[in-house]
Structures are given as C-alpha cells and as structure tokens.
Amino acid sequence: MTVTMILATAYLLGSIPASYAVAFVWTGRDIRHIGDGNPGVMNVWDNIGLVPALIAAAGDIGKGTAAVGLAYWVSDSHMLAVFAALAAVIGHDYSVFLRFRGGNGTATTVGAWIALAPLATLPAVLLSFVLFVVTRRKRFSGFVGLTAVPLFAIALRYPTELSLGIVLLLAILAAKIVAFEGFTPARTRVKR
C-alpha cells in the first residue's frame, strides 16, 4: 500500500460524518440545520442529547484511531502515522460526504492521539472527565484535557516526531474551534 493510498484512506475514514448519521437516525433531521449547524459531537450533545453524542463521539474517535492504526499496520513510521492522523482530521473537518464541510475535529483528534500516544492521551481524557464532573463546564474541561496531552507526551518522553505531531494536531484543532465558534459563554456550561 503506497503512502498516497494510506493518506487517501485516512482522509476518507475521517470524512465519514458520524454526527450527521447519528443525528439523522435519532431525529430524522440534518445536524447542519440544528443548533449552531456544526456537524460535530458537541452540537449533537447540546441539541439532541448525551446518548447520541456518545455514539457520535465513538464513531469520530474510531475514525482517528483507525487512520493511525492503518498507518502503523503498513509501516513503523511515526511520521506516516502523524500524517494519517492529519488526513483523518482534515477529512472530518472538510468531509467529502458533506460538501467539504465538517465539525471541529476534536473527537477525531483524540482518537488519533489514543493511537499515537495512549499513555499521554488516556490520563488527559480522565482529567477532562473529572473536571467536567466537578465543574459541569464542557469547554473548560475539554480545554484542560486537550492541552494536557502534549504536556504528558513530552513528560513521558514520546519520540520527538510524535510529540510534534500531537502539538500540530492541537494547533489545527484550536484554529478550527476559534474560527468557527470561539469560547462563547453559552457553550461552556451544561444545560440543567
């Protein structure tokens, strides 16, 4: 399998619109016409519910993990795995199935990180979950968890190319979130 085929497959995996599919099955509606119109997990959670959001998150996380897993299946190159992760996130953000529109890529990025650096990612996910339970603030908890991943990767002495890839994925994610929605107060706290 050539590098081009791996990256194209990773892009197509990332392009699978899990939130769109879950929202349509759950409500019969297009997620792009619900809430803020973002076809991502957070919009599903905010406007349809936690259970469908968890299903959509599992799909999006799986896309990122599968893309990196594919790269490692054909090669032991960390750089190829990072590029496959990037292709999956780009696929999610600019899905060919949604006319090159997509979500922010948070869950897909987390899935890629799980495959790239599980010992750095899983504690950060746990930290994010604990903070959410304590504060009930989605954005704050997510922000802390996401920014912890590269710090944990560096502290655990993951290979340099993996640590840099994790930072690059975080930078792309941050740019997409800020460009689309920023950190509006209405999105930071769970509705009661």
Per-residue model confidence as pLDDT tens for the chain (192 residues): 689 999 999 999 999 999 999 999 999 999 999 988 888 888 999 999 999 999 999 999 999 999 999 999 999 999 999 999 999 999 999 999 988 888 888 999 999 999 999 999 999 999 999 999 999 888 888 888 899 999 999 999 999 999 999 999 999 988 887 777 665 544 444 443
Q: Is residue 67 part of a domain?
A: yes
Residue 28: inside a domain: yes
Q: What is the pLDDT of residue 38?
A: 85
Containing structural domain, residue 73: 3-187
Q: Determine the pLDDT at residue 142.
A: 86
pTM for the complete prediction?
0.87
Residue 182 lies in a domain: yes
3-state secondary structure of 162: helix
Domain count across the chain: 1
Which of 147, 117, 120, 115 has its CA nearest to residue 131? 147
- Per the CB < 8 A criterion, the answer to whether 45 and 53 are in contact is yes
Distinct helix (H) and strand (E) counts, the chain:
9, 0
Predicted local confidence at residue 183, as pLDDT: 53
For residue 103, which of 60, 17, 39 has the smallest C-alpha distance? 39
Dihedral of the alpha carbons of 121, 52, 140, 65, in degrees to the nearest 10:
20
Alpha carbons 125 and 129: distance in angstroms, whole number: 6
- Tell me how far apart the alpha carbons of residues 59 and 95 are, in angstroms, rounded to a whole number: 14
Query: Is the residue at 26 inside a domain?
Result: yes
Q: What is the pLDDT of residue 182?
A: 60
Question: Is 192 within a domain?
Answer: no
